[in-house]
Structure 1
Amino acid sequence: MVAQARGASGDRRKWIIGVSAVVVVVALVIGGVIWTIADRNRTEGQVINPGASTSALTGDVTQKRDGVVAIVGKTGAKASIDVYADFLCPICGEFEKQYKSQIEQAINDGKLQVRYHMVPLLNERSSPPGYSLDSANAALAAANAGKFLQFHDALFASQPEEGKRGYDKAQLIELGKNVGITDPEFAQTVNAGTYDQQLNAAFQQIENDPKLAQDFGGGQRGFGTPTVTANGSIVSWQDPNWLTKVLG
């Protein structure tokens, strides 16, 4: 009887330990899921920092929209470049960190005009999808208000991670207000997705333009962001002196 009692007690301890292990595993799984969701949605409710935009353009720099292109520069600038980028693209973010100051200095000096093409290349790569297109549309609305570069710089400085949540329309509208846009048409344009159809149509043309195709190795060739062109040819922006060469 004593042996039986000890055996039963041992079985009960094993059962308790087994249940405890299962509870710990379940807790870890649930905790991991909650952490993953929180990490994925960390931009939710955030105010995009307008102070992250260090754009300091001089007063005679023109910022305007031309179709689905934002043009920034002074009248009479001798050099011009086209920059194709996506607000979600991490390499575009690196490009901005590396060359933003040089580009904006050349704009201020009256040496350079920049045509910004914000393309929805990664529109399906945010969670939920749509951030690339929403931000591109909002940037064009900011160009209408003469605040494109301030808006552009702030979005790249506080860039969301690819594969995670971007910023919603309300957050984009709030950023517009915080960079000095007072025209109520800005919010209307953002909410309506006014330029969405035009942006998608332009993107299809860009993707199919052989002049914008590049080799990525492994037999892969096509359009990618960021792409910079000058005088109709692709510029190798990985060369630290590319802008000096463009300016002549």
Structure 2
Amino acid sequence: MGGAERAARKRRQEQQQRQQAAKPVPAARGVDKRTIGVVAAVVLVVAAVAGGIFWYQADKNKTEGQTITAVAQGAPAWPERRDGLVVVSGRPEAKATLDVYADFLCPACGEFQKRFGKQIEEQVAAGNLLLRTHMVPMLSAQSDPEGYSLDSANAGLCAADAGIFTPFHDSLFAAQPEEGKRGYDKGQLTALGQAVGVSSPAFPACVESGTYNQQLDAELKRVTEDPSLHQEFPNGSKGFGTPTVIAGGKPVDTADPEWLSKLVSGAPTA
């Protein structure tokens, strides 16, 4: 092979090498980039889900470790006593009697307390109204963990035994936990009782042991089956619900803004 031929062959080899080097990146490298993108997206989704679960758990348990604020302290200015499972507030000679059936977890009961609680207590203090409070643990299965409605109802009766029910009742509604989430545990309920002025050494044991739990469960069954306490709901069905407000043996129409003044004046309320 002559020198010219070898030089030509070398040039052809170099040209082939340059052409090979100039070829585009193989498709497989493109697949790698897409795979990296998919993996990154999955990581972001997992992180978002984990963050959402963490936020939900934190929000669900936000009452844990909280101190329930006492909105008032000491025995109220009117007499209070426990009549079975009913807390009676006011003077026996009052012009009118009002029965309120409520659950400490019930949002509608919380709204009722917010709208009318102060007005009702003013009428009780004035001697115009005898208030009978029935604590009905309807929503015991609607807290997480379950049981807050029953625990709080029992604690309310324990506070009534000590003669300091109204501040305990009002404080629980003022700091009402959300339905479906964590309520307050027995330790927190006991601490609230002490904050509102309950000093009886029997109070902590009453709360912790659930002294009135069985009676409250039996009372829940009784009131839900009592047709005189049934009301018509927006969907057309009838039954017992909280809050139920009764005067003179009949449900009170609390949608009437004058219902309370009518009650204490003797005017019809329904």
TM-score range, shorter-chain basis? over 0.9
1:126 alignment partner in structure 2: 143
2:263 is paired with a residue of what secondary structure?
helix
2:131 is paired with a residue of what secondary structure?
strand
Q: What does 1:3-152 correspond to in 2, within 5 Å?
A: 3=23, 5-51=25-71, 53=72, 57-58=76-77, 61-152=78-169
Question: Deviation at 1:4?
Answer: 6.5
Identity %: 52
Does structure 2 conserve the Cα–Cα contact (< 8 Å) formed by 1:55 and 1:104? no
229, 247, 259: which one aligns with 1:242: 259
Question: Deviation at 1:75?
Answer: 3.8
Taking a change above 3 Å as real, the CA distance of residues 56 and 6 of structure 1, as seen in their structure-2 partners, is farther
Q: Deviations over 1:18-73 (max 9, x none)?
A: 1100000000011111111111111011000113x499942xx1111111111111
Q: Deviations over 1:178-225 (max 9, x none)?
A: 001111211101000000010111111100111101111434110001
Q: Aligned equivalents of 1:191 and 1:8: distance in 2? A: 68
2:185 alignment partner in structure 1: 168
Task: Specify every segment of 5 or more residues in structure 1 that has no aligned partner in the other structure, as ranges.
Answer: none
Q: Aligned equivalents of 1:55 and 1:156: distance in 2? A: 17
Taking a change above 3 Å as real, the CA distance of residues 102 and 55 of structure 1, as seen in their structure-2 partners, is farther
2:216 alignment partner in structure 1: 199
Question: Deviation at 1:11?
Answer: 1.8
Q: Aligned equivalents of 1:220 and 1:76: distance in 2? A: 37
Q: Across the two proteins, how many residue pairs are aligned to each other?
A: 245
Task: State the one-letter code of the partner of 1:37.
Answer: Q
Does structure 1 conserve the Cα–Cα contact (< 8 Å) formed by 2:154 and 2:210? yes
Taking a change above 3 Å as real, the CA distance of residues 56 and 99 of structure 1, as seen in their structure-2 partners, is farther
TM-score, with length taken from structure 1 = 0.95
Task: Specify every segment of 5 or more residues in structure 2 that has no aligned partner in the other structure, as ranges.
Answer: 1-19, 266-270
Does structure 2 conserve the Cα–Cα contact (< 8 Å) formed by 1:54 and 1:153? no
Q: Aligned equivalents of 2:260 and 2:248: distance in 1? A: 13
Task: State the one-letter code of the partner of 2:205.
Answer: Q
2:16 alignment partner in structure 1: none
Taking a change above 3 Å as real, the CA distance of residues 95 and 220 of structure 1, as seen in their structure-2 partners, is same
Q: Aligned equivalents of 2:258 and 2:94: distance in 1? A: 19
Does structure 2 conserve the Cα–Cα contact (< 8 Å) formed by 1:123 and 1:130? yes
2:132 is paired with a residue of what secondary structure?
strand
Which has the larger Rg? 2
1:215 alignment partner in structure 2: 232
TM-score, with length taken from structure 2 = 0.87
Does structure 1 conserve the Cα–Cα contact (< 8 Å) formed by 2:74 and 2:196? no
- RMSD, matched Cα: 1.6
2:104 is paired with a residue of what secondary structure?
coil
Task: State the one-letter code of the partner of 2:170.
Answer: D
Q: Aligned equivalents of 1:156 and 1:55: distance in 2? A: 17
